Amino acid sequence: MNYYIALNGSQAGPFIESQIREKIASGEITGETLVWKEGMADWLPLGAVLPSLLAGPSTGNPAPGVPPVSGDWVLASLGSRFLAAVIDGIPILLIAVAFAVVMGVSRADKFEDLPGPAQLAVIGGGLGALVLLGVVQMYMLVKFSQTIGKRLCKIRIYDFKTGVPADWIHTIILRILANAAIGSIPCLGGLYSLVDIGFIFRSDRRCIHDLIAGTVVGTVPGE
């Protein structure tokens, strides 16, 4: 069976398994190196496609630092990633528009022009909706490794090394909060956010926040 390998940003191969084993032994490639063969829908980490090549000669266990990887999913398409992001952003956009309308109508320049009870109710409701939305999204990430948008688009966040659904430390702490902290840096934050999004066009479709968190987005098997 012939396999192709992603090396230094380009495709190399084809290689047979013995050649791949030699490259593993030399340290040229690892379990995270992307590989592809005819019949595969997308590129996957080597550990997901050929876990046996990473096993020790006697124990059959993965080599140190290369946990077993589940290969029953494939990388999520650009379209599904984009649609999931749009779905997740719609509620936030609607709340932001409501805020803008209410504050635009009030345009308080002095005490007596401050928003009335109805307007304050809208503002309070908007804040409550944002909090509720955040709680729901956090629950989805902890329980399913998915946001609402990803759930509807049948894609999920996985641990890149193990191939299992990512835990809350990877999905929330590293993938969201750490990324938001970098994005909030004055001046540099906006540029970082643009570069972060641009990384999705890599062969493994991992944005910078995926690289920071050690995650990858893939399909949900059976859905």
List the chain pLDDT tens, one digit each, 223 residues: 788 888 877 788 788 877 777 777 777 888 788 888 888 888 888 877 777 666 533 333 333 333 334 446 778 889 999 999 999 999 989 888 877 776 665 555 544 455 567 667 767 777 888 899 999 999 999 999 999 999 999 999 998 877 788 999 999 999 999 999 998 999 888 899 999 999 998 877 889 999 999 999 988 877 6
Residue 105, CA distances (Å) to 91, 97, 121, 174, 218 in order:
21, 12, 14, 39, 44
Report the CATH number that the domain containing residue 12 is assigned in CATH.
3.30.1490
For the chain, how long is the longest CA-to-CA vector?
Answer: 81
Residue 142 lies in a domain: yes
Burial class (CB in 10 A: 0-12, 13-18, 19+), 45: buried
The model carries a pTM of 0.64
**Domain range for residue 24?**
3-54
- Cα separation, 143 vs 63, in Å, equals 30
Beta bridge partners of 22: none
Query: Are 29 and 123 in a shared domain?
Result: no
Query: Are 93 and 183 in a shared domain?
Result: yes
Query: Are 38 and 137 in a shared domain?
Result: no
Q: What angle do CA 45, 46, 48 make, to 5 degrees?
A: 70
